[in-house]
Amino acid sequence: MNTVERVKMICKERKIPLSRLERECGFANGYISQLKKGSIPADRLQIIADYLGMDIKELLGVQTSAQENEYYLTVETKQIAQEAFDDPMTKALLDARRGARPEDVQMAINLLLRLKETNPDG
């Protein structure tokens, strides 16, 4: 999503007509829609961010590392989530765990640990 599309989406979510944003920011009528490359010059982007009460990075959809870390309780949780996303087998293990009895989960863990001991390279 380019910058112009993002500004339009935010305005739509907030029920702010583009014409009003343009007028109150001192831009010509239709200015935002006429931007051909889908990007807004930095000085005008700052004016829009200020008008919308947003940080410019937030307006651009850039997550700061603080925002990313707030989503997960710990760094380890973030790593596990990424591994489950990247590795279909890890995801399958997590999916299989849902609804399983605790004793069955423990049995599966014990089995996997024994297999790992007998084949540490596998």
CA dihedral 45, 47, 52, 56 (to 10 degrees): 40
The answer to whether 11 and 18 are in contact (CB under 8 A) is yes
Model pTM above 0.85: no
CATH of region 3-60, choose from 1.10.8.60, 3.20.20.220, 2.60.120.430, 1.10.260.40 = 1.10.260.40
For residue range 54-97, what is the model confidence (pLDDT) as tens digits?
A: 888 888 877 655 555 566 677 787 788 888 888 888 888 888 88
Q: What's the pLDDT score for residue 80?
A: 82
Q: Residue 4 in contact with residue 40, Cβ under 8 Å?
A: yes
Lowest mean pLDDT among 3-7, 27-31, 80-84: 80-84
How do the domains of the chain map onto residue ranges? 3-60, 65-118
Lowest model confidence (mean pLDDT) among 1-15, 49-63, 68-82, 102-116: 68-82
pLDDT of residue 84: 82
Which tokens go with 2?
A: 């380019």
Confidence (pLDDT) at 24 = 95
